Amino acid sequence: MEEKRKLVSIQTIDDIQPIENADSIEVALVGGWNIVIRKGEFKKGDKAFYFEIDSMIPLEDERFSFLEARGKKEQNGILYHRLKTAKLRGQISQGLLLPLNIWNKEDGDLEEIEQETNSFADYFKVVKYEEPVKLSGSQKLTSWPESLPKTDEERLQSLVKEWKYEDILSSGTWIATEKIDGCSITMFCEYDEEKDEPCNLRICSRNFELVNTEEDPYWKVVNNKKIEQLGVFGDVEQFSLEDYMKTKSNKILDDEDLNIFQISGICLQGELFGEGIQSNRLGCKGQHIRFYNLLVKFKDLWIQLPMTKVVKYFPELEKYWVPIHSEISLPENLKDAISQPDGVKSIVPEASKDRQIEGIVWRLVDKCYVKNERIKQIDWSKIPEEKWSLVKEKSVQLETKKASFKCISNKYLLKNE
């Protein structure tokens, strides 16, 4: 399973800065985040509990009852306050800082938990806000496939807590891909080696697998999706998305860089968007899918291919990828990178003109990404070193580094949240 977002952690305040024309509030800087606080509440170097945006904080806990006046939302019969991006006296604020003295000793030893995980969401019963999926049609849901990684890019502001921005800049060549505002879709097809045939295509939303029914809106779009590729004699052939994935599910990737040869599955992850999907903020006609991740299954691990390998082994998919903003480069400093998406217009061909993008997802062009947490549990002594040395090396690197991250437009959030 993928690593859970921490939501609540102990952070050190990097700086305190004044807010123009504000007498009672100031802004605290934590990593790449700005959080508006009461003046004098904290000072530079203090430690505090940091609650990230999209945290759902339970109002039944009297320590958080003061948040009820700022808004409440019911979920599964429980009242929460949802932390959203806000603007106070012209200052963007993202998150909440609370002093360490709110901790109850009966909940455990604070220092031990901090050293172990530095994740306190479970202790405060904080959950992540998930925007309700708005799709026309009915669905039958089952649990998410255990071995398959989910899609959830980390925001730059959280990433720089453990990875310096200058190290991000020097880690490789980054490309700016557009983050499309829609519904996450994951589709995968595994190969049954015993039967020597591909299994049926399977489809998931962000958190659940979807049963194939005529009424399911995800399956309707996928069943209508065609992939074009050149035939043996140079003619363009069209394949249903399901047939295409079945034919590729046991493809030979003779790639020495990745130590991958015969694969046993293929997975495409992307965004479903258009009419009847969420609020269709791009103003699209019809319904569409654009992909942003391709993973292949090798030795029970799902390995995400970098863009250079996708183009090499699956060239026909390039035209169905999320748009690349080739005119944009990764800024030289953190502040400019965070604000960069503001004012950038969408280049999704299906979108109406002059639509503000939701954000940018930065991706390394030529780096492999092993997303599966189970890699840490593998007994490497039972695997031939000549085949796994590179994957093993990359898995160690990925404990602290990422091959992708996102920058969300605050202008977009303030308008649409």
pLDDT digit of tens for each residue in the chain (417 aa)?
344 578 999 999 999 999 998 999 999 999 889 999 999 999 999 999 999 999 999 999 999 999 999 999 988 889 999 999 999 999 999 999 999 999 998 888 898 888 888 789 999 999 998 877 766 666 788 899 988 888 878 899 988 877 889 988 988 899 999 999 999 999 999 999 999 999 999 999 988 999 988 888 899 899 988 888 776 666 777 889 999 999 999 999 888 777 778 899 999 999 999 998 888 999 999 999 999 999 999 888 888 898 999 999 999 999 999 999 999 999 999 999 999 999 899 999 989 888 999 999 999 988 766 554 455 555 656 656 655 554 555 444 444 357 889 999 999 998 887
Query: Which has the closest alpha carbon to 393: 401, 254, 153, 5?
Result: 401
Q: Which residues of 41-55 are buried (b: 16+ CB within 10 A; e: fewer)?
A: ebeeeeebbbbbbbb
| Percent helix, percent strand, percent coil in the chain, to nearest 5 | 25, 35, 45
Specify which residues 143 forms β-bridges with. 208
φ and ψ of 381, to 5 deg? -65, -20
The Cα–Cα gap between 18 and 264 comes to 56
φ and ψ of 220, to 5 deg? -60, -45
What pLDDT was estimated at residue 399? Answer: 40
What pLDDT was estimated at residue 216? Answer: 85
**Counting Cβ atoms within 10 Å, is residue 286 exposed (0-12), middle (13-18) or buried (19+)?**
exposed
Residue 62: other Cβ atoms inside 10 A: 7
The Cα–Cα gap between 151 and 2 comes to 9
What pLDDT was estimated at residue 396? Answer: 41
Q: How many CA atoms lie within 13 A of 197 on its CB side?
A: 3
Q: What class has domain 141-416? A: alpha beta
Q: Is 24 left (phi over 0), alpha (psi -120 to 50) or beta?
A: alpha
The Cα–Cα gap between 151 and 180 comes to 13
The Cα–Cα gap between 91 and 118 comes to 28
What pLDDT was estimated at residue 402? Answer: 75
What pLDDT was estimated at residue 394? Answer: 47
Helix (H) / strand (E) element for 416: namely helix 410-416
CATH 3.30.470.30: which residues of the chain?
Answer: 141-416
Q: Which two tokens stand for residue 34?
A: 């700005």
Q: What is the DSSP letter of 331?
A: -
Specify which residues 32 forms β-bridges with. none
Alpha carbon of 378 to those of 85, 370, 373, 383: distances in Å? 40, 13, 10, 9
The Cα–Cα gap between 310 and 141 comes to 30
**CB 283, CB 352: distance < 8 Å:** yes
Q: Cα(first)–Cα(last) distance of the chain, in Å?
A: 29
How far is residue 104 CA from its own chain's centroid? 32
What pLDDT was estimated at residue 386? Answer: 59
